[in-house]
Structure 1
């Protein structure tokens, strides 16, 4: 109930639509009750009193009543469904917003496909549940109450027989609903696995085809899809059991009413028209009751999905703004890591790393793969928080700064070129969404990207496709560099920013980066040592520890790990 109440909280902003739907539901339910009520007097007037006027106008009255009922049902269904859609839209926005607030750690643990499934499939399952239950409670609930009133008024003894049977239907409904809830959670988890496979194979289709993995990918998808079928099959089984069980139980009530009511008619204590009116109301009553019980299964499925969704919404963000943040305008750009340690779960990634870089300096991080270079770089913008020591900018601990203030000081060019399915201009503007076109073009020129942009069909307004698929690797990298140039931040983080460039493009971009680095603090992760030979300081990291610091010449003389890496790359 707590979960369900929480779902309904999202409907509060749309109470106006719900009120309109409730009024229309009263009309629908009232019409059903009125029809059952009018059966007895109409039959008496027509067949006993031979009233031809009523007989002539009855067909017209039936048409009018059902037109009124149909309009009311349309209004009820339309307004409650749109209110549910708007509420679900708010929930989906909330889930996506919460995902965006969570740290990188969360995204490294959970596959992208699973996260996509939470936003789409899980929330979609909630949507059907909310729409069904609110519709059922309003329309079928009002109808059932009205019809109960009619049958108790007509004959309280027969009504008791009918009413005694109704609670018996609740027990199997509850047990089936609980199973449906658990199966809903399991099937949604399996749906996340399917979405993950789709996301991996579609984005990595080039690798799939290069290694002829089509058949194995299809087989993996089929196995996972079969697992989903097993969960859905159980859900179908319980859902299919529900209606027969309800009908068997309600048939006991119908049989009891027919036996007892028929006895009263034959003994003269009840007229045939009264008995027929009662039977009409009773049969009409079982319809909405059965729908209400059926809605319970849907509600349980929605609650199962909601529990998965609220797990995300309730998850506490690891990286948050401090309660009393320090104010920071434009930073000078001095960066210091002071005795920094970092653990990833049980794995110690960094141990007592201390380094500094001042305005105008270029500090390069080198070392074997897995040494911890990228982790060092990720701690500066607080993608992760240190587990020991501190990261300082201009002497202030980054944990004391607002994230907006912190990230405004930093421009990042990553080895993985991340571009979005948008225009070239908007991809360059990511760091400054309000930048005028003149500044965008200037940044592109500085990154030696302007010429190839102007060769595109629509120039800067050309859409580059998903992840920039329409561009070469070098072109994508130059757009990322243009983005960093446009942001004009005092601190630059470059993760092998020229790795995807050919020799000619690399030369041009190195010149652009050299101009960009002036009077800025630059930290570079270098896999190719040729790109950092002239760095002010080279920091060598191995197995999470800082093992050497110096210039290229100083480190070569020492003959340590840097010399070994240097010889491996330049031996030819």
Structure 2
């Protein structure tokens, strides 16, 4: 049960509440064991003793005990439910935090729908286990052991009949429980595959509709969900057998008890009240036995879910903070790439790249598609570590730095701008959560976003929609630029940041960008000449290698790759949106 040991550590903060709840649960279970004895005495008071006063007294005792039992039951039900949901909430938070800590490579190798399935479906199974299994185990254990002790005292011969059903039940539970775990894991895997299709279609709905692929996607989703249905039926074939099997055994044993007990009453070996009490205890025992069988299957199902979730939780980030990280609170922005090489698995992306950037310089990275421009940015941001070579920031190997301290001083405007589904205000404030209204508006103005934002009905409180779908590409890009401006970073990274702007918007925003870039180390990945021709250093990449460096005029005179790209209009100022490197 190693899997449950991992989960139960989340119960430590609530141990006092749990102890009190277990005490209430124990009292509830013990009161249940007392009730048949009171019923026995009441029956004997009527049939054997014919004592009215004794009957009345026992009736009042029964009412009081039932009231106490109800109070204890309400208390433990609430506490166990609260703690179970609290533990699950803590678990979800840790899972989410861990997901965020994982390296970019993890997300390249996993599909989002699979992760969402682990977060929702598997953790829901775990939640059900946390809420129900511990409570049921304790309650049924107390009930079973207590009832067995009492009926053994009342009539050991009848007790032997009950004990006959335990071995077949244990064998049954073990064999079918293992099979149920296998089918449960297969079911969760197939549900995850269906969620993957759903997430892909929802996030790419424009492509699906433009290609009229709704029937194709429907068939793809139906195939996955039908397979999940088949796995669910396989699981159902086993789980559906539990109830009738247990019920049949219960009725069989009950019939034997009535038959044999009736003979003992007629022979005077026992009283009607004792037979009634014994029969009630037998029914009480049947409950825990059946429950244990069902709990075993639930435990096997939960074990599968826990293993799937911990497959992710046990994944270590490839890029981690060092044991004793160096914290740089106020960087100057000096960057050095020293013989840096990087690749994905067996595929090399950049090879032996070296260059120096002085504080405050603007560096443009240009080259054909796939030359390695964006990879250099990812390495600078330490989304990945190079396979060989060193990247230095202010003379420090960035692998020795505290990632939060230096990333908090880098502003990124990515090529693919995805906004969060909240308001315009929330998206811009992502750059600086405690910014004032004046700072917010100033950043929007510098990004040429203030005008179109204020023209919207709710202004800065306008909902941008899922991933910013209610805004145009240029509007989304300008909000992303405003977000970076608000962050006020020491190093600015513009990964084709003006690619979604028309010529008019780009010219309007250029002045603001130049103001932002002043006295900041800036990396520009762009296909437009207007965004790079003033760069202090232009680095031309091809097939992962640096082939040229210099400024625009010098590179044009050299008539190398940069000149070729320009003359082929791949760096032309009038290049249409969406084209380029």
Classify the TM-score, shorter chain.
over 0.9
Residues 338, 35 of structure 1: alpha-carbon distance in 2 compared, 3 angstrom cutoff: same
Distance 2:238 2:565 in 1: 64
Partner of 1:384: 384
Partner Cα distance (1:68, 1:236) in 2: 39
**Can you list the C-alpha shifts for 1:198-235, whole angstroms capped at 9, x where unaligned?**
22222222222221122212111111111111221112
Name the CA distance, whole Å, in 2 between partners of 1:54 and 1:368: 99
Task: Give the deviation of 1:61 after TM superposition.
Answer: 5.4
Matches within 5 A, 1:165-180: 165-180=165-180
TM-superposed CA distance for 1:60, in Å, is 5.8
Q: What secondary structure sits across from 2:549 in the alignment?
A: strand
Cα distance in structure 1, aligned partners of 2:146 and 2:357: 78
> Which moves more between the two structures, 165-174 or 526-535?
526-535
The 10-residue stretch of structure 1 (90-99 or 458-467) with the greater mean CA deviation from structure 2: 458-467
Contact kept? 2:158, 2:257, Cα under 8 Å:
yes
TM-superposed deviation, 1:164: 4.1
1:80-116 per-position Cα deviation (integer Å, ceiling 9, x unaligned): 1111000111110110010011111111111112112
After superposition, what is the alpha-carbon deviation per residue over 1:518-537, rounded to whole angstroms, capped at 9, x for unaligned?
Answer: 22111111233443233222
Deviations 1:247-293 (A, max 9, x none): 45556655654565455445443334323321221122101221122
The DSSP-based 3-state class of the residue aligned with 1:363 is strand
CA distance in 2, matches of 1:119, 1:471: 30
SS at match of 2:332: coil
Give, in whole Å, the separation in 2 of the partners of 1:506 and 1:365: 19
What displacement does 1:493 show? 0.9
Deviation (angstroms), 1:27: 3.0
Q: Deviations over 1:456-508 (max 9, x none)?
A: 23332333222222222111111111111111112111111001111111111
SS at match of 1:412: strand
1:307 aligned partner: 307
* SS of the residue 2:493 aligns to: strand
State the alpha-carbon separation in 1 of the partners of residues 342 and 404 from structure 2: 23
Counterpart in the other structure of 1:456: 456
In structure 1, the partner of 2:437 is 437
Structural mapping, 1:290-329, within 5 Å = 290-329=290-329
* 1:269 match: secondary structure: coil
**Which residue number corresponds to residue 287 of structure 2?**
287
- 1:84 paired with 2:76, answer no
1:151 aligned partner: 151
Quote the residue 2:110 is aligned against. Answer: 110
Q: Is the partner of 2:568 in helix, strand or coil?
A: helix
TM-score, length-normalised on structure 2?
Answer: 0.93
- Compute the displacement of 1:341 (Å): 1.0
Task: Give the Cα separation in 2 of the matches to 1:39 and 1:50.
Answer: 15
Supply the distance in 2 between the matched residues of 1:291 and 1:403 (Cα, whole angstroms): 51
Residue 350 (structure 2) aligns with? 350
C-alpha separation in 2, matches of 1:364 and 1:48: 102
Match of 2:17 in 1: 17
Deviates more, 1:266-275 or 1:362-371: 266-275
- Counterparts of 1:30 and 1:174 in 2: how far apart (Å)? 29
RMSD: 2.2
Counterpart check, 1:480 vs 2:491: no
SS at match of 2:569: helix
**Does the 8 Å CA contact 1:103/1:383 hold for their aligned counterparts?**
yes
> CA offset at residue 312 of structure 1?
1.9
User: Alignment partner of 2:352: what SS?
Assistant: strand
Q: Structure 1 residues 245-254 or 506-515, which shifts more?
A: 245-254
Secondary structure of the residue aligned to 1:541 is strand
What is the alpha-carbon distance in structure 2 between the residues aligned to residue 268 and residue 67 of structure 1?
36
| C-alpha distance in structure 2 between counterparts of 1:387 and 1:246, whole Å | 61
Deviation at 1:441, TM superposition (A): 1.4
Closer, same or farther: CA 42–264 of 1 in aligned 2, 3 Å: same
Q: Deviations over 1:396-417 (max 9, x none)?
A: 1111110111102211011111
Which whole-Å CA distance do the structure 2 matches of 1:424 and 1:329 have between them?
A: 29
**SS in structure 1 at match of 2:231:** helix
**Structure 2 residue 49 is matched with structure 1 residue 72:** no
Report matched runs for 1:229-248 at 5 Å: 229-248=229-248
Aligned residue runs from structure 1 range 124-203, under 5 A: 124-203=124-203
2:500 is the alignment partner of 1:500? yes
Q: Secondary structure at the match of 2:309?
A: helix
- Structure 1 residues 422-470: Cα deviation after superposition (integer angstroms, max 9, x where no partner): 2322322222212222111111111111112222233323332222222
How far off its partner does 1:307 sit? Answer: 1.1
Q: Mind listing any 5+ residue stretches in structure 1 that lack a counterpart?
A: none
Q: Counterparts of 1:262 and 1:315 in 2: how far apart (Å)? A: 64
CA contact (8 A) 1:169 1:249 kept: no
SS of the residue corresponding to residue 319 of structure 1 reads: coil
- The aligned residue for residue 217 of structure 2 is 217
Find the counterpart in structure 2 of residue 336 from structure 1: 336
Alignment of 1:398-413 (within 5 A): 398-413=398-413
Report the Cα distance in structure 2 between the residues aligned to 1:564 and 1:474, rounded to whole angstroms. Answer: 29
Is contact 1:88-1:123 (8 Å) kept?
Answer: yes
Task: Assess if the C-alpha contact under 8 Å between 1:130 and 1:302 holds in 2.
Answer: no
Please identify, of 271-280 and 284-293, the stretch whose mean Cα deviation from structure 2 is larger: 271-280
Q: Distance in 2 between matches of 1:58 and 1:154?
A: 20
Alpha carbons 1:265, 1:275 under 8 Å: kept: yes
Deviates more, 1:433-442 or 1:544-553: 544-553
| Structure 1 position 331, deviation (Å) | 1.0
C-alpha distance after superposition, 1:170-220 (max 9, x if no partner): 222122222222222222222222222222222222222221122212111
Deviation at residue 140 of structure 1 after TM alignment? 2.1
CA distance in 2, matches of 1:539, 1:314: 40
Instruction: Give the total of aligned pairs.
Output: 572
Q: Deviations over 1:15-63 (max 9, x none)?
A: 2332332233223312221122233332222101112334456666555
